[in-house]
Copies of this chain bind each other. A is one copy, B any other.
Amino acid sequence: MKNSRGFASDNNSGIHPDILAAIEKANAGHVIAYGDDLYTENAKKIIRQHFGECDVFFVLTGTGANVMGLSALTSPFHSVICAESAHIYVDECGAPERFCGCKLLPVETKDGKLTPVSVAGHIHGFGFEHHSQPKIISISQSSELGTVYTPEEIRRLADYAHDYNMFLHMDGARLSNAVVSVGTDFKSVTKDAGVDILSFGGTKNGMLFAESVIFFRKGLSDNFKYIRKQSMQLASKMRFISVQFEAYLSNDLWKRNAAHANRMAQMLSDEVSKINGITITQRTESNAVFAILPEESVTRLQQECFFYVWDEKKSEVRWMTSFDTTEEDIMKFISLLKKNV
């Protein structure tokens, strides 16, 4: 099959060659299933080199990483506060509610990012048995709107959460793009900024199926192995997840892939902003570009190169770049835009 590249989603991309090579290399002989193997031990070590001391669990899907992580830190009578654009709120078919039993409380935002001020309206009713007890503030880094939190912004949310005996959860499905964007390292925007638990994803940046849940506080993960198994996310041939993470965090693969995708998004954003009739609606800080363009243009364009409408009412669309996006892809798409807007 001949598959062309587009801007619909970084999930549509394939596997980076280095990741596939790592899988092939690990494909020899028998290894104890379910993670009790040396590949997995190594991968955890490398993650600790990047994130500092932490407990690491490998899982299969991003929704799984989020839901299991939230489940580990909550009881069903708790609530989770998140942006109304959060993946856990709008894109997981209610899996957090079903699996955790918790209430999710949405916060309206302009840019997909929470602040202590914007979450404050949900922080009340502690000790009142009629009220779901607030327990987690969940943020996405980078956010679903392509924006990025600075370490200071995260620290403020973490301090705020901890003041109320709550946890800060980070959905890091696109963490690498965010780290590259703020020009720092993994530890600075997670452990050092006060994050308690992280979904650290690889699938959107060149891995096959490989996600992880990382706990930064002692004691939080004691029962997580049961939660992972009971959530149907314990992979038997775990070594093949582990070696993906190993390859990802070696030779700066994560950084090269993310930096490239971010650069492509910036290029796309720059070029788009020169076109009359299209308005960029969010700062392009990672690998996403949000723009408003005429509805009829959208329909025509989608037929040539599919992408998603983000907000039908505003005719706002989302374009994602990926580790394998090329400058040529962008210039071709820009021509298409120029012809159709």
A46–chain B nearest beta-carbon distance, Å? 15
Decide yes or no whether A332 CB sits under 8 A from chain B: no
Query: Is A67's CB under 8 angstroms from B232's CB?
Result: yes
- A30 in complex: contacting residue of B8, B63, B223, B240, CB < 8 Å: B8
**A residues 149-185 in Cβ contact with B at 8 Å:** none
Decide yes or no whether A187 CB sits under 8 A from chain B: no
* Given A3-B31, A30-B5: A61 in contact with B20 (beta carbons within 8 A): no
Query: Is B93's CB under 8 angstroms from A131's CB?
Result: yes
- Encoded as 1 (CB less than 8 Å from any B CB) or 0, chain A from 200 to 225 comes to 00011000110000000000000101
* Given A209-B240, A230-B95, A236-B61: A27 in contact with B20 (beta carbons within 8 A): yes
Decide yes or no whether A306 CB sits under 8 A from chain B: yes
- A232 in complex: contacting residue of B5, B233, B235, CB < 8 Å: B233
User: CA of A233 to CA of B235 in the docked complex: distance in angstroms?
Assistant: 12
A246–chain B nearest beta-carbon distance, Å? 12
Query: Is A237's CB under 8 angstroms from B94's CB?
Result: no
**A residues 225-266 in Cβ contact with B at 8 Å:** 225-237, 240
Decide yes or no whether A290 CB sits under 8 A from chain B: no
Decide yes or no whether A104 CB sits under 8 A from chain B: yes
One of A72-80, A140-148, A293-301 at the interface: A72-80
User: CA of A341 to CA of B108 in the docked complex: distance in angstroms?
Assistant: 36
Query: Is B15's CB under 8 angstroms from A93's CB?
Result: no
User: CA of A33 to CA of B96 in the docked complex: distance in angstroms?
Assistant: 21
A191–chain B nearest beta-carbon distance, Å? 25
A308–chain B nearest beta-carbon distance, Å? 11
User: In the complex, what residues of B have CB within 8 A of residue A1's CB?
Assistant: 26, 28, 38-39
User: CA of A203 to CA of B68 in the docked complex: distance in angstroms?
Assistant: 23
User: In the complex, what residues of B have CB within 8 A of residue A208's CB?
Assistant: 23, 237, 240
User: CA of A94 to CA of B101 in the docked complex: distance in angstroms?
Assistant: 8
User: In the complex, what residues of B have CB within 8 A of residue A9's CB?
Assistant: 33
User: CA of A126 to CA of B333 in the docked complex: distance in angstroms?
Assistant: 30
User: CA of A117 to CA of B83 in the docked complex: distance in angstroms?
Assistant: 23
Query: Is A93's CB under 8 angstroms from B132's CB?
Result: yes
Decide yes or no whether A97 CB sits under 8 A from chain B: yes
What are 27 sample pairs from A and B whose C-beta atoms fall under 8 A apart? Answer: A1-B26, A3-B29, A3-B31, A9-B33, A12-B31, A15-B27, A15-B237, A20-B23, A34-B130, A63-B232, A64-B232, A76-B230, A77-B93, A77-B223, A77-B226, A77-B230, A91-B130, A93-B132, A93-B226, A94-B101, A98-B101, A129-B228, A129-B229, A203-B237, A208-B237, A208-B240, A231-B232
